[in-house]
Amino acid sequence: MPITELLERNAKDFGDDVALVEVNPEIKEKRRVTWKEYELIEPNPVCHYRREITWKVFDEKANRFANMLLQRGVKKGDKIGILLMNCLEWLPIYFGILKTGALAVPLNFRYTSDEIKYCLDLAEVDILMFGPEFIGRIEEIAEEISKNRLLFYVGAGCPSFAEHYDGLVCNYSGTSPDIKLSDEDDAAIYFSSGTTGFPKAILHNHESLMHSAKVEQNHHGQTKDDVFLCIPPLYHTGAKMHWFGSLYSGSKAVILKGVSPKTILQTVSDELCTIVWLLVPWAQDILDAIDRGDVNLSDYRLSQWRLMHIGAQPVPPSLIARWKKVFPNHQYDTNYGLSESIGPGCVHLGVENIHKVGAIGVPGYGWEVKIVDEDGETVERGEVGELCVKGPGVMKCYYRDEKATAETLKDGWLFTGDMAEEDEDGFIYLVDRKKDVIISGGENLYPVQIEDFLRSHPDIKDVAVIGLPDKRLGEIAAAIISLKEGSTCTENDINEFCQKLPRYKRPHKIIFADVPRNPTGKIEKPKLRKIYCGESLVSTQIKN
């Protein structure tokens, strides 16, 4: 069934129960909201911005937005972009779009103006929803993108080139629109990229979304009593599809803005969170803060916290060993997935398999997995090959890209581009990536984009960008730079030049050396990895 029916069921069965909470420690709240249980631990809790909505209000907000869209001419198959930071409006907007039969198109909040326009055009987006953090970027392209689409603004201080969502949506009915949806209907487009760094539009139907909800609830056993803490951005399939477990079970979720150890632990304590999904850097920061004495666990109510799971990047086994020493009663899981497989869970470790930390795990609920050679034949256990997955959550296609679709989808199997091997117990380990994507702190970095930018520097002759291991971020981007003869360019000069890049794309390590190329002119990145990844290198952090 379409995933919108889960929301309507929750509104009917659990209407007065809290569905979503937004917590923003950076904004001080005018009124005090505290839990009685919390008063027993700390008589003077810090007041912060906190909003909540019930399942009934959640559904009504989605219905009002859906009815507004329909009145404005939106029809089944139209595409509506979402460019918002995490907030209480995000998910009601997403479900309002789905209720119309239109497709939700979430956008990465890190996109530049040019990247936003590129993705809007690629996905043929008809309406863009955007928030206050993006006014400047949208203003740069507003004249061009508003020629063939509507712009709706979510938040205070609506700019002149957009219509105000808040002022419009309240005037529409909170009753569900009578739009018939099926599992086969298109539901959402998410963006990914290959080694070139150009985003691909990934098309999923309602069956994919529903399957991801079933997978999450099956893997982590969410019940009505659980409280999920959601920190990563909702535009990402990982965050949203993990939240789908809360949707499936009708349980509360907390959307947190902030990733400091104190903020995370305080929110777990205040909201009595039972499930927390972390990225490697955040888990590392929590443990380091505890070791330094910056936080004292006895100051927080944490006994209800039962599960910590990590995804989006390789997880160092040593990190989990440290975590279990500090939190011995926690269950632990890791999830592997791609946007093409509707996010996490096509492979997962399983809370019962912590003895296999280091593996990405076994096939997820409802998923099939195989590892193949270059001819597409399944390899023997212990041999390295390309990981392929198959299941109800595989994308329909790369939207408007038949060639890429044919290269990735073969007889129902999704070829992931990741190299893996299976041990004697059937657990899968990632060995390397076919593609050169660098995963740093859960974010994908595309070397070609960074290389192209650096090559515009007048003193750079050649450049190659590779990933180097990093204890906290998993990987960091390192730029191996060959300078033009006679150049006096320094590391500081390169770092200053890179200030033009978005911060997350800036290389963390600059290495002046020759860039090896093979006879056909391709950079020999395996050789570079062999040279530099085996050395103990100290990261050169880029300052603000």
Which residues 6+ apart lie within 8 Å of 380 measured at CB? none
What is the structure's pLDDT at 444? 77
- Tell me the mean pLDDT in the region 36-65: 72
Element of type H or E holding 101: none
* Full residue range of the structural domain in which residue 401 is found: 360-433
pLDDT per position as a tens digit, 229-258: 999 999 988 889 999 999 999 999 999 998
Pair (414, 522) in one structural domain: no
What is the pLDDT confidence band of residue 522, given thresholds at 50, 70 and 90?
low
Q: How far apart are CA 190 and CA 203, in angstroms?
A: 7
Does the pLDDT of residue 58 top 70, yes or no?
yes
What is the structure's pLDDT at 197? 57
Give yes or no for a contact between 86 and 106, defined as CB atoms under 8 angstroms apart: no
Domain boundary among 388, 417, 433: 433
Element of type H or E holding 47: none
Tell me, what amino acid is at 288? Answer: D
CATH of the domain at 402: 2.30.38.10
What proportion of the chain, given as a percentage, has pLDDT over 70? Answer: 91
What is the pLDDT confidence band of residue 6, given thresholds at 50, 70 and 90?
very high
Cβ burial 213-249 (10 Å sphere, 16+ → b, else e): bbbbbbbbebeeebbbbbbbbbbbbbbbbbbbbbbbb
Q: Dig out the tokens for 57 from the structure.
A: 């209000």
What is the structure's pLDDT at 45? 45
Which of residues 65 and 537 earns the better pLDDT score?
65
Pair (285, 175) in one structural domain: yes
Pair (47, 184) in one structural domain: yes
Q: How far apart are CA 506 and CA 497, in angstroms?
A: 10
What average pLDDT does the chain have?
Answer: 89
- Tell me the mean pLDDT in the region 362-378: 96
Cβ burial 84-95 (10 Å sphere, 16+ → b, else e): bbbbbbbbbbbb
What is the structure's pLDDT at 94? 98
Does the pLDDT of residue 106 top 60, yes or no?
yes
Does the pLDDT of residue 226 top 50, yes or no?
yes
What is the structure's pLDDT at 448? 76
Does the pLDDT of residue 32 top 50, yes or no?
no
Does the pLDDT of residue 458 top 50, yes or no?
yes
Pair (165, 48) in one structural domain: yes
Pair (321, 394) in one structural domain: no
Q: Dig out the tokens for 123 from the structure.
A: 């996905």
For the chain, what is the domain count?
A: 3
CATH of the domain at 318: 3.40.50.12780
What is the pLDDT confidence band of residue 27, given thresholds at 50, 70 and 90?
low
Q: How far apart are CA 422 and CA 232, in angstroms?
A: 30
Pair (268, 399) in one structural domain: no
Does the pLDDT of residue 347 top 90, yes or no?
yes
In a domain, 232, yes or no: yes
- Tell me the mean pLDDT in the region 175-190: 96
In a domain, 338, yes or no: no
What is the structure's pLDDT at 14? 98
Pair (113, 197) in one structural domain: yes
Give yes or no for a contact between 89 and 117, defined as CB atoms under 8 angstroms apart: no
- Tell me the mean pLDDT in the region 496-525: 84
What is the structure's pLDDT at 536? 36
What is the structure's pLDDT at 518? 61
> Is 0.85 surpassed by the pTM of this model?
no
Pair (399, 447) in one structural domain: no
Pair (64, 142) in one structural domain: yes
> Which among 189, 239, 199, 244 has a CA at the least distance from the CA of 396?
189
Pair (421, 445) in one structural domain: no
What is the pLDDT confidence band of residue 441, given thresholds at 50, 70 and 90?
confident
- Tell me the mean pLDDT in the region 366-382: 95
In the chain, how long is the greatest CA-to-CA distance?
74
Pairing of strands 362-363, 343-348: antiparallel
Does the pLDDT of residue 405 top 80, yes or no?
yes
What is the structure's pLDDT at 30? 41
In a domain, 420, yes or no: yes
User: How far does the chain reach from its first CA to its final CA, in angstroms?
Assistant: 48
**Phi/psi at 362 (nearest 5 deg)?**
-125, 170
Q: DSSP per residue over 348-395, as a string?
A: E--GGGGGGBTB-BEE-TT-EEEEE-TTSPBPPTT--EEEEEESTTS-
Region of poorest pLDDT, from 38-47, 101-110, 383-392: 38-47
What is the pLDDT confidence band of residue 492, given thresholds at 50, 70 and 90?
very high
Does the pLDDT of residue 506 top 80, yes or no?
yes
Domain boundary among 326, 351, 368: 326
In a domain, 493, yes or no: yes
What is the structure's pLDDT at 39? 36
In a domain, 333, yes or no: no
376: buried, middle or exposed (CB in 10 Å: 19+, 13-18, 0-12)?
middle
What is the structure's pLDDT at 82? 98
Q: Give the Cβ contact number of residue 144 at 10 Å.
A: 12
User: Tell me, what DSSP letter sits at residue 50?
Assistant: E
What is the pLDDT confidence band of residue 311, given thresholds at 50, 70 and 90?
confident
Pair (55, 110) in one structural domain: yes
- Tell me the mean pLDDT in the region 519-526: 67
Q: How far apart are CA 271 and CA 48, in angstroms?
A: 13
Tell me, what amino acid is at 242? Answer: H
CATH of the domain at 462: 3.30.300.30
Pair (512, 480) in one structural domain: yes
Domain boundary among 390, 418, 433: 433
Does the pLDDT of residue 534 top 70, yes or no?
no
Region of poorest pLDDT, from 246-250, 372-376, 530-534: 530-534
Region of poorest pLDDT, from 1-10, 78-87, 95-104, 532-541: 532-541
Q: How far apart are CA 126 and CA 149, in angstroms?
A: 5
